[in-house]
Amino acid sequence: MTSTPLDRLLRPQTIAVFGGREARRVIEQCDRMGFSGKIWPVHPKLDEVLGRPCYRSVSDLPQAPDAAFVGVNRTLTVEIVRSLSAAGAGGAVCYASGFSEATAELGDGADLQQALLSAAGHMPILGPNCYGLINGLDGALLWPDQHGMKRIECGVAILTQSSNIAINLTMQTRGLPIAYMVTAGNQAQTSLADVACALIEDPRVTAVGLHVEGFGDLSGLQRLAAIARRSKKPVVVLKVGRSEQAKQAAVSHTASLSGNDAVADAVLARLGIGRVQSLPALLETLKLLHVAGPLPGRSISSMSCSGGEASLIADAAVGRNIEFPALQPQQLPRLRRVLGEMVTLSNPLDYHTFVWGDFARQTEAFSAMFKGGYALNLVVLDFPRGDRCDASEWAMTADAVITAASATGALAGLLATLPENMPEPVADRLMANGIVAFSGIDETMIAAEVAAGIGQAWQAPPPPPLLDVPSTDGEIETLTEADAKTELAACGLPVPRGLQAFSPREAVEQAERLGFPVVLKGLGVAHKTESGAVALNLRDSQAVSNAAATMASNGGYLVEKMIDPPVAELIVGAIRDPVFGLSLTLGAGGILVELLQDSVILPLPATKTDIHAAISHLKVAKLIYGYRGRPRGDVAAAVAAIAAAADYVVTNAARLEELDINPLMVLPEGRGVAAVDALIRRRR
């Protein structure tokens, strides 16, 4: 096991507990889980706690503890952490709230959190404002409450900022073996990514799940992704912040920055980290990753003894990046032989009930299906209520799945459509035999999609480091369209030929130099179309003069050659995210931006291959590739222009706050592209 600075805190041999009721509960939970190390209560007045002698202070302890649970008020927390750090302790859980998450209520919350950081120095701390951790592998707990975990030999690690969600997750009865449950609260010093990196190094951890309200920094996330990939231990994230209400709740809870949700999706995908949107999906995905790791492909087979279930399974896959390929020719004779003539052989497969209650024929049917080369093979089976029904034939079916999977070497999952129809003892037995005990159809499809996505990312070469350049200080300036285009043209982005003018008369002269038809724009106006600051297709001098006389401007005019009608219009933009920095947005441009909301996010740096793939995911790509006999757009020129814009963002990352090219007109094949409007905002 690789040594990390968090080892003593996460896997302690000695634990000191500070406080009253919460500290007592920590000792109770350690005793219940059979912790074999030493526990030292510290209290200024009590002589003993649960049969253990009490110490008066840190200086009275036999030695510096590996870990400490500090369950006292917020100001005393700072003093105890300072003493522990000075004594050489391995780390501490800071239970108290009232720090940076409470700045609206307590004016000194942020200052007190800074004091806590200074007191900790190089000693790791979790929190403040958190419950701590449960180590189910060694029975070591820094946890002041009940929980539903048990001692295990290997399993997944789950990390969250929310202590209450952590408690809820420990109570799951889905058969997921949880090795660690860790809460990080405010992440004042140690982030969830830091803890995850340390836990991945434990050979007994199989996968990691994160419930994230806000990311600490991009570098920590990149380090986690690299370690996960190297260790072949996948990470899946449930990140809140899709709604404005969730973002506000996160800020009020842990003073977290949620960041743009679409950017988070793109960054996590680039890093090979899975993402889910609900706690049940997180648990089901972790079960699949625990048993099998990332999937090598997106193909799934499904068998059920009901056409209704087969239809539900097929529908749940719609819109997801998974597939149910047709049965292989070599499977058909074997399936026909065992299932009979009345069964329609398809995938998903309704195998009826002709083999129900017959272990040998069920095993043969499942084996034939499992030999199709699918990445995941599902058998739908909802167990009856144990208090009212006899489940022996259902148990026989589960045994047949176990036997068939063992004989074929295929990955199999037993899927209960309702979570309550997968009893925990059954789930435990299935998981122990390498069968994923799935609960819920939608959650299972999500799990397969996420595991396949991680597999696809890991099969590709490791991506280059993401652009992680903090913004410089300085006042923000907005360049005129003319100046913005001059900068972009110097980076290789095609722009229309244009000339500046500072009076209506000069605008006419510049138009005559360029040749008609032209476009006239008022400089220094942000929303030109709405403000009447743009006039198109002006065909003579009088038209230019008339347009200039009535046009709003703040610094003159820009006269440009009129561009021929495009095949399609794109928007290319970049805006600085408070968490993830700068990334590129591609989408349907012009007047379709708000109408279609058709866009993709590209983390930077981006290759031309990345850009080409991003364009193909847009709805407007149908126009670019020649929709219903219309001319095909100049795709190569579009890719080159977007690459030039991406390079501009990377080169100017320290100063750039926003780039907006809208529209980038994609002309017919062989005629290039043109950026007809551009906005740049940057630090001086």
Please determine, for residue 289, whether its predicted confidence score (pLDDT) is greater than 60: yes
Please determine, for residue 341, whether its predicted confidence score (pLDDT) is greater than 50: yes
> Mind listing the pLDDT tens digit for each residue in 546-566?
999 999 888 799 999 999 999
Please determine, for residue 287, whether its predicted confidence score (pLDDT) is greater than 70: yes
Return the pLDDT at 153: 97
Please determine, for residue 247, whether its predicted confidence score (pLDDT) is greater than 70: no
The span from the CA of 482 to the CA of 239, in Å, is 41
Return the pLDDT at 255: 38
Helices (H), 14-97: 21-32, 74-87
Q: Can you list the positions of beta strands (E) in 55-139?
A: 67-71, 92-94, 125-126, 133-135
Please determine, for residue 252, whether its predicted confidence score (pLDDT) is greater than 50: no
The span from the CA of 553 to the CA of 621, in Å, is 35
How many helical (H) and strand (E) elements, i.e. helices and strands, does the chain have? Answer: 24, 30
Return the pLDDT at 242: 58
> Mind listing the pLDDT tens digit for each residue in 21-60?
999 999 999 999 999 999 999 999 999 999 999 999 999 9
> Mind listing the pLDDT tens digit for each residue in 62-93?
999 999 999 999 999 999 999 999 999 999 99
pTM of the complete model: 0.90
Mean pLDDT to the nearest integer, 528-540: 87
673 neighbors 643 (Cβ within 8 angstroms): no
CB under 8 A, 24+ apart: contacts of 385-390: 386/423
The span from the CA of 530 to the CA of 480, in Å, is 17
Return the pLDDT at 363: 97
Residue 525 pLDDT class (50, 70, 90 cuts): confident
The span from the CA of 652 to the CA of 371, in Å, is 54
663 neighbors 478 (Cβ within 8 angstroms): no
**Which of 104-108, 339-343, 581-585 is predicted with the least confidence, judged by mean pLDDT?**
104-108
Residue 595 pLDDT class (50, 70, 90 cuts): low
Q: What is the DSSP secondary-structure string of 548-582? A: HHH---SS-EEEEEPPPPPSEEEEEEEEEETTTEE
Return the pLDDT at 251: 42
Q: Which residue in this structure is represented by tokens 């870990």? A: 67
Residue 104 pLDDT class (50, 70, 90 cuts): confident
Longest Cα pair distance anywhere in the chain, in angstroms? 99
Nearest residue to 326 via CA among 293, 354, 349: 349
Residue 256 pLDDT class (50, 70, 90 cuts): very low
Sheet holding 67-71, edge to edge: 38-42, 14-19, 67-71, 92-94, 125-126
